[in-house]
């Protein structure tokens, strides 16, 4: 019975987040949220820079830790390529601070405590956001959406996809 209930909740959660794919090619929804140090960040202030906005369910859980550490391990390459990284969950600032310190995360974790940003991106869920990642170009346009993120190896995957976007194609 528990398995049926869990499957139903997962399906319902996926249905709630289904609008994310419709944002592909669109201007990313703007937001202002506080980071792990209480500093506010507004997405539109990063226009002119490549940005990763990745939603994850919960601080300091196995999958979320693997995903964050995958990005952390290649963070020097994110910086070298001018890519700003925002990790977003419903957790509060205090939780983000502890998570960032415990795993030496060099990037920004944002608190979407009212769930409004996850909803705007189509990554919202009832109890936690869906694990989704959005690659945003310098003009603020969403160029890639990862609907089914594999936490391990996500950092190199993001870097490869940004590099592929920058490589001109031959006709």
- The pairing of beta strand 83-89 with beta strand 108-111: parallel
Alpha helices in 17-143 (DSSP H): 62-73, 75-80, 93-102, 116-121
The set of residues, in sequence order, having a beta carbon less than 8 Å from that of 25 and lying 6+ positions away, is: 141, 142, 143
CA–CA gap between residue 150 and residue 163 (Å, rounded): 19
**Six-digit token string for 95:** 């939780």
Active-site residue 64, yes or no? yes
- The pairing of beta strand 50-55 with beta strand 132-136: antiparallel
CA–CA gap between residue 20 and residue 121 (Å, rounded): 6
Q: Buried (b) or exposed (e) across 46-83, using 16+ Cβ within 10 A?
A: beeebbbbbbbbbbeeeebbebbbbbbebbeebeeeeb
Residue tagged active-site, from 64, 85, 93, 105: 64
Query: Catalytic amino acids?
Result: 64
């Amino acid at each position: 019975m528990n398995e049926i209930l869990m499957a139903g909740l997962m399906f319902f959660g996926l249905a709630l987040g289904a609008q994310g794919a419709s944002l592909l090619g669109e201007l990313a929804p703007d937001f202002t949220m506080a980071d792990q140090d209480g500093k506010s960040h507004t997405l539109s202030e990063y226009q002119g820079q490549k940005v990763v906005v990745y939603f994850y369910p919960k601080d300091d859980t196995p999958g979320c830790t693997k995903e964050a550490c995958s990005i952390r391990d290649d963070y020097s390459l994110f910086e070298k390529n001018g890519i700003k990284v925002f990790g977003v969950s419903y957790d509060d600032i205090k939780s983000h601070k502890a998570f960032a310190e415990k795993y030496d995360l060099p990037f920004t974790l944002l608190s979407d405590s009212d769930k409004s940003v996850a909803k705007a991106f189509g990554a919202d869920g009832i109890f936690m956001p869906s694990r989704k990642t959005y690659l945003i170009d310098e003009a603020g346009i969403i160029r890639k959406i990862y609907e089914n993120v594999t936490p391990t190896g996500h950092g190199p995957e993001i870097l490869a996809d940004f590099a592929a976007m920058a490589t001109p194609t031959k006709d």
